[in-house]
Structure 1
Amino acid sequence: MAEKEIALLRKQQEKLNEKSFDLEAWKSQTMLFLQRIFGADHLIVKMIADLKYDYSSWNLRDATGNEKSDDPVKMQADEVLEAAIMELESLGLPRQESSAEKAWELMEEELTGKQYKEIRAIIEAGKKNKLAKVQEVLSKLEKENLISILSRILIS
């Protein structure tokens, strides 16, 4: 299971109650941890990034009354972390896609089925001169396709 990750998120929950709490510093640190655990595009990471204090006149007026005794931003942050912990406890660590898998996925999107299968067969076969054969197949591609493939691989 993900004991280390859960312990790390529990520590972040504890930091919410410290006297010297700084939301932006806490968010930066928490986002680093969550990105490593779940990936940068996970909804939990985005929810932490979106945390902020609302200084609108309505919110300030409500905060001066006795209705709200707890900090709503800290409460939301705690709930998001609790959801992350529950996900880790229930589902375990998310499967991290390797760079090679991602590159193959992007190539499959850009190449025709025949081109993709041809390159895949060359690489999976135990033949020599794989590099030269792959280069030969890629040299037949349009320049725009090659640029698109390389761009998408670099961005991912």
Structure 2
Amino acid sequence: MAEKEIALLKKQQEKLTEKSFDLEAWKNQTTLFLQRIFGADHNIVKMIADLKYDYSSWTLRDATGNEKTDDPVKMQADEILEAAIMELENLGLPQQESSAEKAWELMEEELTGKQFKEIKAIIDSGKKNKLAKVQEVLNRLEKENLISILSRILIS
């Protein structure tokens, strides 16, 4: 299971109650941890990044007249972290796609079916000169295709 990750997120929950709490510093640190655990595109990461205090006149008026002791931003942050912990406890760590798998997926999107099958067959074969044969196939591709493949691999 994900004991280390859960312990890390619980520490972040504890930091919400510290007297010298700084939302932006806490968000930066928490976002780094969550990106490593769930990936940069996960909704939990985005929800933490979107946390902010609302200083509009309506919010300020409500806060002064209502005497709320609970900080709504801290409460929301705590609930988001609690959801992340529950996800880890019940579902475990998300499966991270390897770099090689991602590269193959991107290549499959950019190449024609025939080109992709040809490269895959060369890689899967037991022959010694795989590199030269793959380079030969890639050399036949148009420059735009190669640029697109390389840029998508780098961005991912």
- What is the TM-score normalised by the length of structure 1? 0.98
The Cα shift of 1:65 comes to 1.9
1:117-156, aligned counterparts within 5 Å? 117-156=117-156
1:138 maps to a residue whose letter is: L
Q: CA deviation at 1:126?
A: 1.2
Aligned to 1:104: 104
Aligned-pair CA distance for 1:67: 5.6
Query: Matched residue pairs, number?
Result: 156
Which residue of the partner structure matches residue 10 of structure 2? 10
Identity of aligned residues (%): 90
Alignment correspondent of 1:57? 57
Alpha-carbon distance between aligned partners in 2 of 1:144 and 1:125, rounded to the nearest angstrom: 28
C-alpha distance after superposition, 1:42-63 (max 9, x if no partner)? 1100000000000000011111
Aligned to 2:80: 80
Structure 2 alignment gaps of length 5 or more:
none
Q: Find runs of 4+ consecutive structure 1 residues off by over 4 angstroms.
A: none
Query: Matches of 1:70 and 1:18 in 2, distance apart?
Result: 13
For 2:3, the aligned partner's letter is E
Aligned to 2:94: 94
Secondary structure of the 1:94 match is coil
Q: Give the Cα–Cα distance (whole angstroms) in 1 for the partners of residues 131 and 58 of structure 2.
A: 65
Rounded to whole Å, the distance in 1 between the matches of 2:101 and 2:62 is 51
The one-letter code of the counterpart of 1:27 is K
Report the counterpart of residue 48 of structure 2 in structure 1.
48
Question: Within 2, Cα distance between the matches of 1:48 and 1:124?
Answer: 43
Q: Deviations over 1:97-139 (max 9, x none)?
A: 1111110010000001111111011111111110000001111
Q: CA RMSD in A?
A: 0.8
Unpaired segments ≥5 residues, structure 1: none
**Quick one: which amino acid aligns to residue 35 of structure 1?**
Q
